[in-house]
């Protein structure tokens, strides 16, 4: 029997919304994406993704040409035919760290105001929301219409730089549902996905997302802490962590030490957990420590520079990789930001380069001079910090630094260079 195809509305066309919408369109569903940002919608309509993501452009153009994906700023057009409404708006951190639910509130209000009489879509929350938000914040807004609308929570675990791949082929599906009818419809909708499916209540599904990000961020903080200690003990953290990960209970992924984690999720979600725990009168000792570890970790890169260069005033430092990691143009919470700010505050000149994230970075730290290539960034530099794990940096070797830099001092903040190929270079890495 052919799988029923659905009309899908995506509310919020950021990286999660666009990748999710395209993944559904590729499965044959009819997808309309809504965003309140006119520029973003126009850009999507022109086939120009508003952010960098590998292969996104081609797939977006195919989707637009076939008509399986459309973009609008008009909420009525997005939801009028919808069988499923996936809410993918952001839940940024407020200044006090607590989750800002204003976008999600607005999305719920817009949906309920625009939904035609008689339509009964399932509203599926993909946005990361603190446990209890769907029941406590979203449901009252939807119920105010007098209609009993069905709600579900289906957290998204995609990584930037692999957004489409992760959306299409997830590790697992978490379906937070309240009734068997919604569960059945969602199971059918996701029938093509081959992975374990866990059905829970709404709150549990919300908590699983925080639980995952908190675990992964803690693992990275552990790797960083361990690497710092390895440096104290004068042992190579690669070998130590390789040995640690041979324990059948410890997976080697997310154990790469460096200058710390950034991005739109780990810092924000941990801050939200910490703030929520405080509000509940149960402060989280562990997650507070993870955030503190991460806030300080980038300084290791500067300490290593200082060990080699002494005084940093007047020195020219090349900063390679401005995004929070390779494969994305996202600079949110990028460790390049505090690194650059500290170097500038110490009177150093900073020359930055990134394959795609220069524009966004420039808006945040305008005093960093930008170079058009790795070579131009390294030219006449007294030292270099490698901050993001871009593929094009991995292939750099000794002579790339020796031939261009004033003094070939390299601090590898992501442990991606091959030490044996760093001939002629003063090569330092964290760990």
Residue 336 neighbours by CB under 8 Å, 6+ apart: 319, 321, 322, 323, 324, 352, 354, 361, 365, 387, 388
CA distance 93 to 264: 10
Looking at the DSSP bridge assignments, the partners of residue 317 are 350, 383
Q: Are 29 and 5 in contact (CB under 8 A)?
A: yes
CA distance 182 to 382: 61
- Cβ-based nearer residue to ligand UDX, 408 or 431: 431
**In sequence order, which ranges of 234-357 are alpha helices (DSSP H)?**
237-245, 266-279, 285-297, 299-309, 336-345
CA distance 219 to 225: 10
- Cβ-based nearer residue to ligand UDX, 111 or 163: 163
What is the separation of C-alpha 413 from the centre of its chain, rounded to a whole number of angstroms?
19
CB of 361 to ligand UDX, least distance (A): 14
CB of 254 to ligand UDX, least distance (A): 4
- Cβ-based nearer residue to ligand UDX, 256 or 371: 256
- Cβ-based nearer residue to ligand UDX, 256 or 410: 256
- Cβ-based nearer residue to ligand UDX, 101 or 156: 156
Helix (H, G, I), strand (E, B) or coil at 199: strand
Residue that the structure tokens 């990691």 belong to? 325
CB of 336 to ligand UDX, least distance (A): 10
Tokens representing 128? 């990361």
- Cβ-based nearer residue to ligand UDX, 68 or 334: 334
CA distance 232 to 315: 27
CB of 319 to ligand UDX, least distance (A): 15
CB of 427 to ligand UDX, least distance (A): 19
Dihedral sign (CA 69, 71, 77, 80):
positive
Q: Are 63 and 26 in contact (CB under 8 A)?
A: yes
Q: Are 425 and 408 in contact (CB under 8 A)?
A: yes
| Known catalytic membership, residue 265 | yes
- Total number of residues shown for the chain: 431
DSSP class of 198: E
CB of 261 to ligand UDX, least distance (A): 3
Helix (H, G, I), strand (E, B) or coil at 280: coil
Binding residues for ligand UDX (CB under 6 A): 156-160, 213, 216, 220, 254-256, 258, 261-266, 324-325
Return the closest-CA partner of residue 405 out of 300, 299, 308, 302: 308
CB of 173 to ligand UDX, least distance (A): 14
- Cβ-based nearer residue to ligand UDX, 82 or 124: 124
Q: Around Cβ 364, how many Cβ atoms within 10 Å? A: 15
Q: Which of 88, 195, 230, 265 is catalytic?
A: 265
Which residues participate in catalysis according to the annotation? 265
């Amino acid at each position: 029997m052919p799988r029923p195809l659905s009309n899908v509305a995506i509310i919020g066309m950021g990286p999660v919304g666009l990748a999710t919408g395209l993944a559904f369109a590729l499965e044959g569903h009819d997808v309309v994406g809504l965003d309140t940002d006119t520029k973003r919608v126009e850009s999507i309509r022109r086939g120009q993704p508003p952010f960098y993501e590998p292969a996104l452009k081609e797939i977006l153009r195919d989707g637009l040409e076939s008509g399986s994906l459309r973009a609008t700023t008009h909420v009525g057009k997005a939801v009028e035919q919808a069988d499923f409404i996936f809410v993918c708006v952001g839940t940024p951190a407020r200044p006090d760290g607590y989750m800002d639910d204003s976008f999600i509130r607005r999305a719920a209000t817009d949906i309920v105001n625009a939904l035609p009489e008689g339509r009964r879509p399932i509203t599926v929350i993909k946005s990361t929301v603190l446990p209890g938000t769907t029941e406590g914040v979203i449901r009252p807004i939807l119920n105010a219409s007098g209609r009993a609308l069905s709600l579900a929570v289906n957290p998204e675990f995609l990584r930037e730089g692999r957004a489409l791949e992760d959306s299409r082929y997830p590790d697992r599906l978490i379906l937070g549902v309240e009734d068997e009818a919604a569960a059945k419809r969602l199971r059918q909708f996701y029938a093509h996905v081959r992975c374990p499916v866990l059905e829970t209540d709404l709150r549990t599904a919300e908590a699983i997302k925080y639980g995952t990000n908190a675990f992964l961020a803690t693992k990275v903080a552990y790797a960083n802490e361990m690497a710092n200690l390895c440096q104290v003990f004068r042992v190579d953290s690669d070998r130590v962590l390789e040995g640690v990960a041979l324990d059948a209970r410890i997976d080697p992924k997310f154990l790469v030490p460096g200058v710390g984690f950034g991005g739109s999720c780990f810092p924000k979600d941990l801050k939200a957990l910490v703030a929520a725990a405080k509000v509940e009168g149960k402060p989280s000792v562990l997650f507070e420590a993870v955030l503190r570890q991460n806030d300080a970790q980038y300084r290791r890169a500067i300490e290593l520079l200082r060990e080699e260069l002494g005084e940093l005033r007047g020195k020219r430092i090349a900063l390679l990789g401005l995004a929070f990691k390779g494969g994305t143009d996202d600079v949110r919470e990028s460790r390049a930001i505090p690194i650059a700010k500290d170097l500038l505050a110490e009177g150093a000149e900073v020359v930055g380069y990134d394959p795609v994230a220069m524009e966004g970075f420039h808006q945040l730290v305008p005093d960093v001079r930008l170079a058009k290539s790795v070579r131009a960034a390294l030219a006449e530099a007294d030292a270099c910090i490698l901050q993001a794990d871009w593929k094009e940096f991995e292939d750099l070797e000794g002579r790339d630094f020796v031939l261009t830099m004033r003094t070939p001092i390299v601090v590898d903040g992501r442990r991606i260079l091959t030490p044996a190929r760093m001939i002629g270079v003063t090569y330092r890495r964290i760990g």
